[in-house]
Structure 1
Amino acid sequence: MQIEIRENHFLLLSQKAIFWQETQTLLIGDLHLGKITHFRKEGIAVPYIAADNNFERLNEIVRNTGATRIIFLGDLFHNKYNAEWETFRAWRSQHFYIEMIIVIGNHDVLPVSMFLEADLQVFVDDFEEENFVFTHHPKVEPDPSKFVFAGHVHPVFTTYGKGRQSLRLPCFVVDQNQAILPSFGVFTGGFQMELVDNRKIYITTETKVFSVG
């Protein structure tokens, strides 16, 4: 699904990321790497295959888009250091040719030095380029002269069938001056979003993105 924002073109990917075509940039929010390992240490039976899914989808979108840059919109790593960080470092070294930027999120509690050592450019607050702002927390009142891309919320939307059955799916939320990305990471939950004036919602399945409303 391609949308146009401020005369730039963005592909909404079923893998729950956005590809900014003019700059060959992937926008990815809320991986929460390390969360599954953390839960397993706490005795919650989450299969390791769930963690593998994150890296499989990362590899897929890098391969399919030919991205030369990735901007992580915060919450790249969920908690304190665990073994998943080493998996990420290995993945990052395999993709040394891609520029990577992180805007720090509320769950990114690892020392900034660890992100720098993994060859990520770090922005504690917003990262701005042209008339776009890349951040973790959505803006309550975005500057109308700029357009914001944010994460944090883990937006989902519920659709209803004729037989009262319902389906709750991750979604992209695009308002007049701001877009909120779904959580890229698996096992992260979600916050129900509603259609309001000047808002478009795009739900994503494992294979397709659909506009609703």
Structure 2
Amino acid sequence: MQLNYGQEEFIMHPSGCLYWPSQNTVLIADVHFGKVDHFRKNGSALPSRVGLENFKKLNQILEEFQPEEILFLGDLFHSTQNKDWDRFTAWVNMQRLRMTLVIGNHDIIPSYHFEDLGIKVVPEITRGALYLTHHPEEKGGFYNICGHLHPGFRLRGEGRQQLKLSCFYKKEHQLILPAFGAFTGHFLIEPEEDEDVFVVSEDLVLSIR
């Protein structure tokens, strides 16, 4: 699904990432690496393979778009270092592209650990008329692209069928990305009339309008 802002074109992908063709850049929010291992360590009976889905999705994105850069819009890791850190380190060392992390509220791992891997760490990014953050922000004259909310939308059928899906949440001057991580949950939203929601399924992005 294509989205335009001014002269810029973006592609909303079913994975939850946003591709920026003119910059050959992928934007990803809320991966929450390590969340599955964090919960397993605290007694939750979760299969370890769930955490590997994030790496699988990332590799599929890189294969499809061949980007020169990834911008992680916060909450790359869920908490402290665990087994996923070693997996992430190995994954980063296999890549040949630029990576930047916009710090999110869950990113408590010291920045120098990311910088030692060649990942730039910043509080925010301004490029042209775009203002890239983790939390939803307002900045006059800029279009904000962010994450944090893990937006989701409840689809209702003619009977009592209900389906909750992740979504891109578009406002007049803001686009909130869905959580990229495989184990993140949803914050269900109710858009205003002038807003739009693009739900994501396995292979589609669809406007609810």
Partners in 1 of 2:37 and 2:6 — Cα distance?
40
Alignment gaps of 5+ in structure 1: none
CA displacement 1:21-61 (0-9 Å, x = unmatched): 11011000000001111111111011111111110110001
Secondary structure at the residue paired with 2:198? strand
- Return the letter of the residue paired with 1:189: G
- Return the letter of the residue paired with 1:164: R
Partners in 2 of 1:207 and 1:174 — Cα distance?
20
State the shift of 1:8 in Å: 0.7
Partners in 1 of 2:70 and 2:199 — Cα distance?
22
RMSD: 0.9
Partners in 1 of 2:68 and 2:30 — Cα distance?
20
Partners in 2 of 1:197 and 1:121 — Cα distance?
38
In the alignment of these two chains, the number of paired residues is 209
Matched, 1:128 2:110: no
Identical pairs, percent: 37
Matches within 5 A, 1:111-126: 111-123=110-122, 125-126=123-124
Contact 2:24 2:67 in 1 (8 A): yes
Matched, 1:20 2:14: no
* Map of 1:156 onto structure 2: 152
State the shift of 1:143 in Å: 2.4
CA displacement 1:89-123 (0-9 Å, x = unmatched): 1111111x210000000000001110101111110
Partners in 2 of 1:134 and 1:117 — Cα distance?
23
Moved over 6 A (4+): none
Contact 1:144 1:177 in 2 (8 A): no
Matched, 1:170 2:170: no
Contact 2:132 2:146 in 1 (8 A): yes
Matched, 1:94 2:94: yes
Partners in 2 of 1:14 and 1:28 — Cα distance?
12
CA displacement 1:70-95 (0-9 Å, x = unmatched): 00000001111111011011111111
State the shift of 1:164 in Å: 2.1
* Map of 1:82 onto structure 2: 82
Partners in 2 of 1:121 and 1:206 — Cα distance?
31
Find the partner of 2:143 among 100, 125, 147: 147
Partners in 2 of 1:50 and 1:5 — Cα distance?
35
Contact 1:143 1:177 in 2 (8 A): no
Contact 1:73 1:104 in 2 (8 A): yes
Partners in 1 of 2:208 and 2:7 — Cα distance?
23
